[in-house]
Amino acid sequence: MHVKRLLLLLSLVLLTACAPGGAADTAESAITAEEVPAGEIVQLVYQDWRTDWFPGMAQAQLAEFHAAHPNIRVFYTPDPEDVPGEMPGMFQAGSAADVISGCCDFFPAWGQAGYLLDLRPYVERDLAADVISEWDAAQYEAFFTPDGLQYALPKYHGALAVYYNKDLFDAAGLAYPAADWTYDDYLAAMTALTGDAAGGLAWGSTLDPIYDRVQIHVNAFGGHYVNPDDPTDCVLDEEPAVAALEWLRARFQDDGVMATPLALNKLETRRAFWEGRVAMVEDGSWALKDILANADFRVGIAPFPTGPAGRATLATTDGFAISAGTPHPQEAWELLKFLVSEQYGLAMAEASFLQPARASLVEQWAEFIRADYPEQTADLDLAIFADGHVRGYSVTAEVFANMIGVRDITDAAFEDILTLGQAQPAERLAAACAEIEALQE
């Protein structure tokens, strides 16, 4: 066993002692594992979120896993402070945990770099089609690299929607957003709820001008970041994407109906909403608990508006994976199956309202929320968060053949265009595409 991995396991043994509560033949042939003598306990390290609520929930669930798998002992460790920055070195040094969670642009980069085990043979052998069909197709398919390696399975299904302040809508005499509202309707509502029109209390809306949050609008306008037929080709500078960025730029800079991060002093968007600084906010189901706990007004939820090319919403790419270097892939797979089970999904849903990845669990998730916040959710349509999953208009963050460094380039471009107002979309996006394509060479 690698010395760094041994030291990690020994340190986790001490931490755990102090913790409360303490298919097809081709698939079979692709599964290899270290021989474990009969009766020996296999030790695994599972790394996941370090948020205040997660470790306790995970430890409680792992106790049940241990009872069902007496030959496997799992030690939980929280993520490092800088997951994208620190994990590549841990993979390279052989000190990464056996089972990990990941998301966003860095997760596919790990798969592309060969840091994660190919799960295809395990999935083909052990997971039924009806289980796979419960997951959002867009989310599930996002966990494959362009060459077909399946590096993860869904952790939860975070979806974006538009939260709105019903009290401000009522005061302005505005109808609440309809299920079929458009970008023109969105702009009209923002205009009516901004500045002098709303008593100087709020901007109409806001969003985080980052990779996946901007992409939703690009997709709704018919554009893409990545050429669907060529993962090395950046098409963010083509007309539909440019039009989407221009629409957003005008809202941030010309009309001033959307609050920039600078205007909000870089306040977290959900906080800006519950503090009444914005009348609407584009945010995810993962923000629901914070918003319901802190808002002193009636909260509404609407789907994203329909754009020129249709409607899109985000399906997050949070997932569970196995390190390619694990000495115990079969046992790690047993743990990963538990992590994507109904039981673990409902535990996360109950603990912090994380929207389950399985469609069949959405109503139970909603019941947890209604039980904790009966007044705030009396007329709140929580099913809107699952609408993209059920109706098939979810999208995931688009992935280039090489994602390393891409997010830095796009975030810089979006800051110049949307936050600072120092660049026009067409020219700045062309420069960003040139940089991204250089990374693909």
CB 246 within 8 A of CB 416: no
pLDDT at 16 over 60: no
Give every CB contact of residue 397 below 8 A, 6+ residues apart in sequence: 104, 105, 142, 211, 212, 215, 314, 317
What is the DSSP secondary-structure string of 142-173?
Answer: TTB-TTS-B--EE----BEEEEEEHHHHHHTT
Tens of pLDDT, residue by residue over 359-396, are 999 999 999 999 999 999 998 999 899 999 988 899 99
SS (H, E, C) 373-384: CCCCCCCCCHHH
Among candidate residues 265, 374, 386, the one with its CA nearest the CA of residue 316: 386
Is-same-fold flag (3-157+316-368; 160-314+379-440)? yes
| DSSP state for residue 261 in the 8-state scheme | T
133 CB neighbour count, 10 Å cutoff? 11
- Sign of the CA dihedral running 293, 297, 299, 304: negative
Output the pTM of the full model.
0.83
- Pick the more confident residue, 193 or 196: 193
Question: With 80 as the cut, is the pLDDT of residue 201 above it?
Answer: no
Residue type, 268: E
Strands (E), 197-345: 226-227, 230-234, 280-284, 299-302, 313-314, 319-322
What's the pLDDT score for residue 412?
97
Best CA proximity match to 335, nearest among 39, 110, 126? 126
The torsion angles phi and psi of 100, rounded to 5 degrees, stand at -135, 165
Question: What's the pLDDT score for residue 195?
Answer: 81
Domain range list for the chain = 3-157+316-368, 160-314+379-440
Q: What is the pLDDT of residues 49-108, one digit of tens each?
A: 999 999 999 999 999 999 999 999 999 999 999 999 999 999 999 999 999 999 988 999
pLDDT at 10: 43
Q: Is the pLDDT reported for residue 200 higher than 70?
A: no
**The pLDDT value given to residue 4:** 46
The model's pLDDT over 313-363, given as tens digits with 9 standing for 90+, comes to 999 999 999 999 999 999 999 999 999 999 999 999 999 999 999 999 999
pLDDT at res. 82 = 96
More confident residue, 441 or 58: 58
Reply yes or no on whether the pLDDT at 125 is more than 70: yes
As a whole number of angstroms, the distance between CA 282 and CA 270 comes to 9
Q: Read off the DSSP letter of residue 80.
A: P
Distance of CA 223 to the CA centre of its chain: 21
The fraction of the chain above a pLDDT of 90, given in percent, is 83
- Tell me what the mean pLDDT of segment 237-251 comes to: 98
Band of pLDDT at residue 11, cut at 50, 70 and 90: very low
pLDDT of residue 31: 65
CB 332 within 8 A of CB 44: yes
Q: What share of the chain in percent tops pLDDT 70?
A: 90
Taking the C-alpha atoms of residue 291 and residue 278, their distance in angstroms, rounded to an integer, is: 13
127, pLDDT greater than 60:
yes
Domain made up of 3-157+316-368: CATH architecture? 3-Layer(aba) Sandwich (3.40)
Alpha carbon of 378 to those of 370, 375, 432: distances in Å? Answer: 8, 5, 46
Q: What is the pLDDT of residue 25?
A: 38
Per-residue pLDDT, averaged over 116-126, amounts to 97
- Give the 3-state secondary structure of residue 29: helix
252 DSSP 8-state letter: I
What pLDDT score was predicted for residue 146? 84
Q: In angstroms, how far is CA 180 from the centroid of its own chain?
A: 25
Q: Does residue 293 contact residue 299 with C-beta atoms inside 8 Å?
A: no
Question: 160-314+379-440 — its CATH code?
Answer: 3.40.190.10
Tokens of 362: 């959405």
Instruction: Output the average pLDDT for the chain.
Output: 90
Helix (H) or strand (E) holding 391: helix 387-391
